Structure 1
Amino acid sequence: MTELDGVFRREWGPAVAALARWSGDLTVAEDAVQEAFADALRSWPRDGVPANAGGWILSAARNRALDRLRRESDRPGKELAAVVDDISARTARADPQPVHDDELRMMFTCAHPALDSAAQLALTLRLISGLTVAEIARALLQSEAAVGQRITRAKNKIRHANIPLRVPPAELLPERTPHVLACIYSVFTEGYWSTAGPSAIRDELCDEGVRLAEEMCAQMPDLPDADALAALVLLHDSRRHTRVDAEGALVPLDEQDRSRWNRSRINRGLNRLRRAAGATGPYLPQAVIAAVHATAPSWEETDWVTICTAYDRLIALTGSPVARANRALAVGFRDGFDVGLAALDEVADDPRLARSNAIAPIRADLLRRSGRRDEARDWYRRAAEGAGSVPARAFLHRRSVECEP
């Protein structure tokens, strides 16, 4: 049912984070929330969706977690009750830590240095965003088997090593912050450009990414990289509702109605960008690129020189082959499309792009714009075959048809 799907996407992360903090066990929390949604699937079609659907899910999940504790405990009833009361009392006490948002808490918890960075990111995207293993694999350009194993190993390590599910002391937060920023950006990116499914955009993930980015700025007001991330997601998000038409079909940037872009989001993003001076991570150059697009009066007046310079900075920071591929497109607009194609050739064989569909649509677009329509048609078809979402496939197929002689 559509309502349940919407509730799942909105409430999964908050419910798992709250249950994990309450129970101290990731597996108990995740299983309990899954069972609560199964209960909802059985009862809501009959009884209707509750007014406070999130509260219903959380309450049902907590009851499921209590049932599991009772089943798995060999303690007498009074002793188990005392344990449960102790859990409730501990989570009800004032928390001296500087992070008060449950989902941010979970992100900092999953960033424990005992877990490798890939496991941290995969585990957080699963627990906080409710992304499936397949969606995480596409986002991380990894196989589903590898991602599934990594998540399982991470949860087992947390359990067997008794890693506490709590936010570290304030002095240890900086070392975990890059992981949290990366997770927030991954949440937003999956919403803004869905890797699979019937929709190109998942609004609830975009909203959550924006909220978490701005919450990070509030929690850490002197962190320029948090401001850079907030600027990036706000500037991208300003165009969200013009990226698809009334039928859900993708609308490319050069064809979007700029008068419908969200000026409030743009202004907030530009304010964050000004505060981000001194940021050293990958979000500042990406935010600069987004700001150039957001402030260009028209597509024809886009400042491709500044965009290419920002890509150069991003590549120097990350060495990302995806950034190099996107830079090739920008080079095409700056220096000519044949030059852009030559730049794309320099990165096309990078093995890190083996699971990515980044090269084909960029090559197709450069070929089309250079007038080589027969070649463009073939590359658009190849790009459509590798596209994840239905609207992306439809858009690329439409472009291939436009290139027919």
Structure 2
Amino acid sequence: MEMLGTARSIQAVQPAPGRAVTEAQVDELSRRNFLDHIPLSNATNIVPFVLIAICSAYLPDWRLIASLLGLNVLVLVVMYRVSRMLQAEHEESRAGLLWRVYEGLAFVSGLLWAGKMYPVVATLGRDIASMFVCVVIIVSIAVTSMVVASQWRTFLCFLAGVMLCLVPQTVSHIAIIGPVPLLATLGLAPALISLAIAIRRQNRLMIRTQLEKQQLADDLAHALAVAEYLASRDSLTDLYNRRAFVEVANRIGNDAGAAPLSLIIVDLDHFKRINDEFGHGIGDSVLKMTAQLISNTVGPFDVVGRGDGAVARWGGEEFIVLLRNCPLDTAAALAERLRVGLTCLRGMDWPDGLVVSGSFGVARWHSGADLNLGIGQADAAMYQAKNGGRNRVCVYQEDAVAVAVALG
């Protein structure tokens, strides 16, 4: 929540310049999405594994296929563990090492997928089970290629493993199966590469659109925050303006409960003379430095304020402070600190001999009472300070005023 006791600088909420979505951002979100969907991707392997296991039961080399299936499952489990480590890793160098490990495992997975073709390649065309296993393997390789297409290096590693194992098999069995499977195998790589490129482009386009929409939403939210901020601020001092102070003060009063509330009003002494003698530029500088002094004194590190109140420019040279959980005597002590600090202010552009002072009025505000009543009492005390010679702190005493009214 925004600290109520001191205004932030307008520069802190200036709209950021328009930023184009970078390739690095697309890469990062693509990797994140890929890692998030690995459990689902691994689940798609269950069906082909089961189909291959069932069909291999009717083949002479079923033990070899079963061993390759087991190794493939083990590799996928290790890949899953590495992917979880990648999700939790924030150090760039270690993440890069884990990605290389994952890509190496993808290469091994490609070898194992193509390796399962070895026990059936010699019986293709003569055994329906062998033909079915071959079709399942090729389809699974294509599906896996599409799944990993968004991560280009991973896809290339997987495809390299597939081709490194598949091409020698078709070459060594060309006398049995003929040249057509070899031509199909050689055409598999460019076909999968073309498909992967198309999927990768589509994936990155979707991610870029997603990032641009998110950025647009963030920029809109930022612009609304800036507009709301500027609407509640005094343009010169960056403190709350009068309207915003009333809103914030009423909110604080409603939430205060039994906690004591105090109001301080300060009016700079002879401010018109400062403008007349030294110019409005110096006058503006005095107002800004006064606002900064009050904000710093009632800031989040202050023992009294704890950032638990509101500060506003109330009028031309008037400022108002609301303090929550602050008894009247503590507020008076804080006002005295402000009074002393005000007389010590010196601006770099101020002429010699310019000393600023202020008259302070302090009053208690009961949270159940009207805010204007509390402000009026602090204002009365401030005028008492003015009439008493200025550059002083006066505290509104409710009992004393009641007696004075009664006597009058």
Q: Which has the higher contact order (CA 8 A, sep 6+)?
A: 2
Structure number with larger C-alpha Rg: 2
Give your verdict on TM over 0.5. Answer: no
TM-score (norm 1): 0.24
Greater helix fraction, Structure 1 or Structure 2: 1
TM-score (norm 2): 0.24
